[in-house]
Amino acid sequence: MPRISLFCLSLGLLLTACGNSPSEGAKPDTATIALLSEKERGEVILNDELLELSVDLKGLTDVQKVVFYRNSQVLGEDTTAPYTWRDELSDNTEAFYQAVAYTKNGRDFSNTLGLKPNLKPKLTRLSGTLYDAGSLDYPLQTALWKGGQGEMLLKVGSTVVARGPLAADGKFDMTLPNPASSLLTAATPENLYAFTGLQGCTGTVVANAATANTSPQLALAHAEVAATRSGVAAPVDVLPPTPVDIGGQVKQISYLYTGALVYATSAVNMEGSLSCPRTASVNTTLDFRLSLAKGWNKVTQQYTLNPGEPRLGKLIFSTGFPKGEQWVLLPTNAGLPPMR
């Protein structure tokens, strides 16, 4: 009888082949299993990853459908080649999978996959310690927070989506709820750089949804302090100046990293570059290197600091907060685009 090999294509799953079929009435396990993963075994994966199941029919013909099972229960069936199914993963919950192909002559069984995923938890809280910063020049010099007790707010535009207490020593903590649907926008680069005021950008940024037939939506959020001293707050890092030849003159270019939060309704990757006119003769480059999970994501905005010019020479969006996650109240003279 022709054999079926069941393939599990997933990120960071710890997979083991099992000897018996979990589905009722299954025949002895004689098929060969091939396991493929985009990462090393045992790595954690994002909470929104789905288990990708597909079958290699090994020459079996006249297939009418393939039924997929988990723990002897039917997940669903696919009547069209290449016969695939996706299953939502549960953290640290062991499951056994099998596929059965139905032909005019009967049934053919795959062997069994057993797995126990280790999922990366969602970002559900935001906490840290706020410091004062006189400027955003290198080296970044900070001082203990002297702005008093109050609140740390998380805003999408001008709308508060979360808030938490800010202690006199600068410590804060807040729960991150899902933003209202009215605050969500399509997963396009324009909706991430709108706060800069840049328009007329050209270039290509590709947004690929991790799950087929989904249209991810996003919300870009920033933190604000409401205390004796108020303003926009963010985790910050500053690199030392680098000499760069600009128009025949060597100038010291610095790089500032600030953190923000982006909410995504489903996983999406955004990659590409845009060029946006800042003046009649000067453009700003926008680069996107984002891999967003479902839920809240830490994101870095890297600014190129051009001496004697508006600060927005180049802006790069990438995944994760700046190194060290040093939260400061951004000085009003920092020269950054308004976050509201």
Picking from 119-123, 222-226, 247-251, which range would have the lowest pLDDT averaged per residue?
A: 119-123
Secondary structure class of 182 (helix, strand, coil): helix
Chain segment 268-287, per-residue pLDDT in tens: 889 999 999 987 777 889 99
Q: In which band, very low, low, confident or very high, does the pLDDT at 55 lie, cut at 50, 70 and 90?
A: confident
Q: In which band, very low, low, confident or very high, does the pLDDT at 19 lie, cut at 50, 70 and 90?
A: very low
Higher pLDDT, 49 or 136: 136
221 has pLDDT over 50 = yes
34 has pLDDT over 50 = no
Q: Determine the pLDDT at residue 92.
A: 56
CA angle, 149 as apex, 147 and 154 as ends, to 5°? Answer: 90
Query: 302 near 336, Cβ under 8 Å?
Result: no
Chain segment 58-93, per-residue pLDDT in tens: 777 888 888 888 888 888 888 988 777 777 665 556
Q: Determine the pLDDT at residue 31.
A: 39
Q: Determine the pLDDT at residue 311.
A: 54
Chain segment 205-216, per-residue pLDDT in tens: 999 886 666 789
Higher pLDDT, 117 or 215: 215
Helix (H) or strand (E) holding 158: none
Query: 238 near 256, Cβ under 8 Å?
Result: yes
14 has pLDDT over 70 = no
Residues 259, 301: Cα–Cα separation, whole Å: 6
Q: In which band, very low, low, confident or very high, does the pLDDT at 174 lie, cut at 50, 70 and 90?
A: very high
- Torsion on CA atoms 244, 246, 251, 255, rounded to nearest 10: -60
Distance of CA 249 to the CA centre of its chain: 39
CB count within 10 Å of CB 276 equals 19
5 has pLDDT over 70 = no
265 has pLDDT over 80 = yes
Picking from 22-36, 119-133, 145-159, which range would have the lowest pLDDT averaged per residue?
A: 22-36
Chain segment 233-245, per-residue pLDDT in tens: 999 999 888 887 7
22 contacts: CB under 8 Å, gap ≥ 6: 69, 70, 71, 72, 96, 97, 98, 112
Residues 52, 34: Cα–Cα separation, whole Å: 13
Higher pLDDT, 149 or 10: 149
Domains delineated in the chain: 5-120 (2.60.40.10), 125-329 (no CATH)
Residue range 147-166: mean pLDDT, rounded = 97
Q: In which band, very low, low, confident or very high, does the pLDDT at 9 lie, cut at 50, 70 and 90?
A: very low
Picking from 72-86, 104-118, 141-155, which range would have the lowest pLDDT averaged per residue?
A: 104-118
Higher pLDDT, 191 or 338: 191
Strand order in the sheet with 50-56: 34-37, 5-10, 50-56, 84-88
